[in-house]
Amino acid sequence: SLQTKPLVLGTTDKITVLDPAKTYDFYTWEVFQNIGEGLLKYKPGTTELIPGIAKSYEVSPDGLEYTFKLREGLKFTDGYPLNAAAVKWSIDRVMKLDLDPSWLVSAFVERVEVVDTYTVKFVLKEPVSFFPALVATTPYTPVSPKSFPEDKVAEPTVGHYGPYRIKKWTRDVQLVLEANPDYYGSPPKSRLFVVKFYKNAATMRLALETGEIDVAWKSLRPIDIRDLKAKGKQKVLEVPGPYIRYIVCRCNKPPFDDVRLRRAIAAAIDRARICQEAYKGTVKPLYSMVPMGMWGHIDAFKQEYGERNLELARKILTEAGYSKDNPFNIEFWYTPTHYGDLEADVAAVIKESLEETGMIKIDLKSAEWATYAAEYLTAGVMPIFLLGWYPDYIDPDDYTSVFLHSEWSPDMGVFYSNPEMDRLLDKARTEIGIEKRTQLYEKIQKLMAEEAPVIPLFQGVLTAATQPNVKGVVLDPVMLLRYYLIYKE
């Protein structure tokens, strides 16, 4: 019944909610990159922003007003015109609904004004250096007032505008996309694109091997990646992604209100072993919260402690009054239900590597994700625990302020507060000009390594495995796969 054989991509992720005002997870954002488009977008393969629905934009000298000129004559897939009014309506809707991702708009944008049919102006609350990056995020994606209700979350399959449009969507089973004939740009490389949702990575891998799917994307297990590489029948593409994992120390209460203990942990942790043993080398050790590949990154923790320094750790612990006979006893928490099956392994390796000091005694504790994230984390129940971070927008700010700024760090369970740090972060946020900001972030990272409220562990690696004839899989730090570039030869 199908004239063209579709390109099939498998993933173990899922579409949570197909509404830009509500969705706040990476995978659904990826879908919006393909069925929708922001005013600005990233050039594939880079972190460089290029025009999207907007042809161009201007910033007022005070950095408070951004004026976008839209492309003309665009239509949503429900036929409704995509103009300045629709953009304003969409942004207003996000702010009014006030759901999970809305802070990405409402924290920065004062209001949106329609200047003329194709010109729209964003008035900011205060200058934000990374506003264009924000504009490229999903909450800024315009949707059609015809298909989306103004006052509640909805998941229509029409009313978007992007290279693809939805042909059929069976939740948790598959998403069938077809080329959007009204798209301004070059049409997608594959006319028909199917995303198959898997619950189980092993199944997905077998599907790849049997040729049922063309691309396996987020997330094959390390062991499968190793196997596939070894077999060599499929292509395996890897690139460091902006996804990071780290340890959080609860800084406001004993024992980790004592900076020495945090430093001891930071020194004793064995990143290499975690990457090798739990992840079979599919992730990379990380020495700063700002991920590798992002401007401003320095290996701050390596500079401070070296790759691993057991001696230093023992020294600090001795200073803090611990010894082999009087070890530092601590509960270490992790969650088995959110970060994949390997989390327990990660925790076990951490336990071993810390206990190698001979002066630390770890009691591993776990809680399922809802309790972990919704209750324990913010209530400060867990003295030290594992967490992970996917960025909201691609800027060092998103990797630092949230953890280190006294205003937000309680939300992340860090409870860290340092006026000097707050000052540096605030400055870096508003400063325009990449040089100055780079310097600021280097300072921030150094201070972070000294104080070690959070201890970076490793950076995720983006891996996609494809059939040999598949081309156009562009993996980039933005982490959102552009389906419209993929095709089969």
Q: Which range in 37-45, 72-80, 125-133, 200-208 contacts other proteins by CB under 8 A?
A: 200-208
Q: Which is nearer to other proteins, 241 or 340 (CB)?
A: 340
Q: Is 199 in the site for other proteins (CB under 8 A)?
A: yes
Number of Cβ within 10 Å of residue 395's Cβ equals 26
Q: How far is the CB of 461 from other proteins (least distance, A)?
A: 18
- Judged by CB under 8 A, does residue 174 bind other proteins? yes
Nearer to other proteins, 226 or 471 (CB): 226
Q: Cα–Cα distance between 204 and 466 in angstroms, integer? A: 12
By CB under 8 A, the residues from 273 to 332 that bind other proteins are: 277-278, 280
Binding-residue pattern over the window 419 to 458 for other proteins, x denoting contact by CB under 8 A: ----------------------------------------
245 binds other proteins (CB under 8 A): no
Shortest distance, position 357 Cβ to other proteins, whole Å: 16
Rule CB under 8 A: choose which of 184, 339, 376, 408 binds other proteins. Answer: 376
Strand 7-11 relative to strand 192-197, pairing: parallel
When the beta carbons of 176 and 360 are compared against other proteins, the nearer one is 176
Instruction: Cis check for the bond before 219: say yes or no (omega within 30 of 0).
Output: yes
Using the rule CB under 8 A, is 236 a contact of other proteins? no
Q: How crowded is the C-beta side of 446, counted as CA atoms within 13 Å?
A: 9
Stretch that binds other proteins, among 166-174, 241-249, 424-432, 443-451 (CB under 8 A): 166-174
Continuous segment of H or E residues that includes residue 114 = strand 109-116
Measuring CA to CA, which residue among 306, 297, 238 is closest to residue 267?
306
| 155 forms part of the interface with other proteins (CB under 8 A) | yes
Environment class of residue 332 by beta-carbon count within 10 Å: exposed (0-12), middle (13-18) or buried (19+)?
A: buried
- Binding flag, residue 205, other proteins (CB under 8 A): yes
What are 400-404's contacts with CB under 8 Å, separation 24+?
400/289, 400/290, 400/425, 400/428, 400/441, 400/444, 400/445, 400/448, 401/425, 401/429, 403/248, 403/289, 403/453, 403/454, 404/444, 404/448, 404/453, 404/454
3 touching other proteins, by CB under 8 A: no
Q: Does 194 bind other proteins (CB under 8 A)?
A: yes
Cα 201 to Cα 167, 280, 299, 390: the distances in Å are 26, 16, 33, 20
Please give the size of the binding site for other proteins, defined by CB under 8 A: 67
Backbone angles phi, psi at 477, to 5 degrees: -60, -20
Q: Return the biggest CA–CA distance within the chain.
A: 76
Residue from 78, 209, 398, 476 touching other proteins (CB under 8 A): that is: 209
Which residue is listed with tokens 């880079």? 46
Closest separation between CB of residue 353 and other proteins, Å? 11
Q: Does 253 bind other proteins (CB under 8 A)?
A: no
Measured from the CB atom, the residue of 171 and 253 that comes closer to other proteins is: 171
List 50, 107, 115, 370, residue binding other proteins (CB under 8 A): 370
Q: Is residue 103 within the footprint of other proteins (CB under 8 A)?
A: no
Please, what is the angle between helix 397-404 and helix 419-430, to 10°?
150
Which residues of the chain form contacts with other proteins (CB under 8 A)? 2, 6, 8, 16-19, 22-23, 153, 155, 170-174, 176, 194, 196, 198-203, 205-207, 209-210, 212-213, 221, 223-224, 227, 277-278, 280, 336-338, 341-342, 344-345, 347-349, 352, 364-371, 373-379, 410-411
